[in-house]
Amino acid sequence: MFLEENEYRKSTITSYNTYVSRFLRSSYYDEIKPDFKQQITEFLENEALKAQKTYKDCRAALHTYFKSITGTSYPSDKKEKSISTIEDLLEGFEQFQKSVKYLIDTTATSETNQVRAFLYYIYQQSPDNFNVFRNFFPWHAVSLNSSMERRCSRMNSTFQDLLQKFFLSE
């Protein structure tokens, strides 16, 4: 077996077998379709949404499985071209997390990455769906309590400008 030949630990082998079994039993796997990489990619996209805690282990298992079947490493995708509006918003959001909520850098980055996945998912479904955010934010901002208003007033002007540009522009 590939994993034993490459000296993987027994606990890792057991874990990887679980993930590979889940993939092979899923609707994403189809022996007849030629694009094995695409099947794994689609399965992992779904896995990232519903099993975030185990996603990295699952990805490692399926990439190793791909290598055992094809003899080559799993081809890495070029990073999706970032969408500047989303990245600008996220930069401001991360700054907000640090300066207003006083989160440590790693926690702020982690929360920002969760929001990034969500925003890119919405954008991929329909770029027009971003108008939902423009409609939501002004309504939600009206309901801020006084302590939140004080914290928001301490936000740097760059983030305030970004919020205004992104959420309030038509």
As a whole-number percent, the residues of the chain with pLDDT over 90 amount to: 17
φ, ψ at 148 (rounded to 5°): -70, -40
Tell whether the model's pLDDT for residue 122 goes beyond 60. Answer: yes
Tokens read off for 72: 């080559």
Tell whether the model's pLDDT for residue 138 goes beyond 50. Answer: no
pTM of the model: 0.48
pLDDT, average across residues 97-126: 80
Tokens read off for 9: 């630990």
In this predicted model, what pLDDT tens digit does every residue of 40-75 receive, in sequence order? Answer: 988 988 888 787 778 889 999 999 999 998 888 888
In this predicted model, what pLDDT tens digit does every residue of 29-40 receive, in sequence order? Answer: 988 877 888 899
- Confidence band for 24, pLDDT divided at 50, 70 and 90: very high
- Residue by residue, DSSP assigns 10-41 as HHHHHHHHHHHHHHHHSTT--SS-S-HHHHHH
Tell whether the model's pLDDT for residue 150 goes beyond 60. Answer: no
Tokens read off for 140: 């939600």
Tell whether the model's pLDDT for residue 162 goes beyond 60. Answer: no
Is the pLDDT higher at 110 or at 162?
Answer: 110
Tell whether the model's pLDDT for residue 148 goes beyond 60. Answer: no
Residue 23 · residue 29 · CB < 8 Å: yes
Angular region, 71: left φ>0, alpha ψ -120 to 50, beta rest: left
Average pLDDT, the chain: 75
